[in-house]
Amino acid sequence: MHEWAVAESIVLTVIQEAEKNNLKSLERITLRIGELQKMEKDILCFAMESLFKDQGYNISRDSFLIYEEPAVFKCNFCGNSWAYAEALNHISEEEKEFIHFIPEVAHGFLKCSSCGSADFELEKGRGVIVESIIGETC
- Interface residues with Zn ion (CB under 5 A)? 75, 77-78, 80, 112, 114-115, 117
Strand pairing category for 25-34 and 128-136: antiparallel
| Residue whose CB is less far from Zn ion, 115 or 134 | 115
| Residue whose CB is less far from Zn ion, 27 or 123 | 123
The CA-based dihedral angle spanning residues 51, 52, 53, 56, taken in that order and rounded to the nearest 10 degrees:
130
| Residue whose CB is less far from Zn ion, 30 or 80 | 80
Cβ contact 110:91 at 8 Å:
yes
SS3 content of the chain, % helix, strand, coil (to 5): 45, 25, 30
- Shortest Å, Cβ 138 to Zn ion: 54
- Shortest Å, Cβ 73 to Zn ion: 10
| Residue whose CB is less far from Zn ion, 75 or 99 | 75
Strand pairing category for 25-34 and 64-69: parallel
- Shortest Å, Cβ 75 to Zn ion: 3
- Shortest Å, Cβ 81 to Zn ion: 9
The CA-based dihedral angle spanning residues 71, 77, 80, 83, taken in that order and rounded to the nearest 10 degrees:
-20
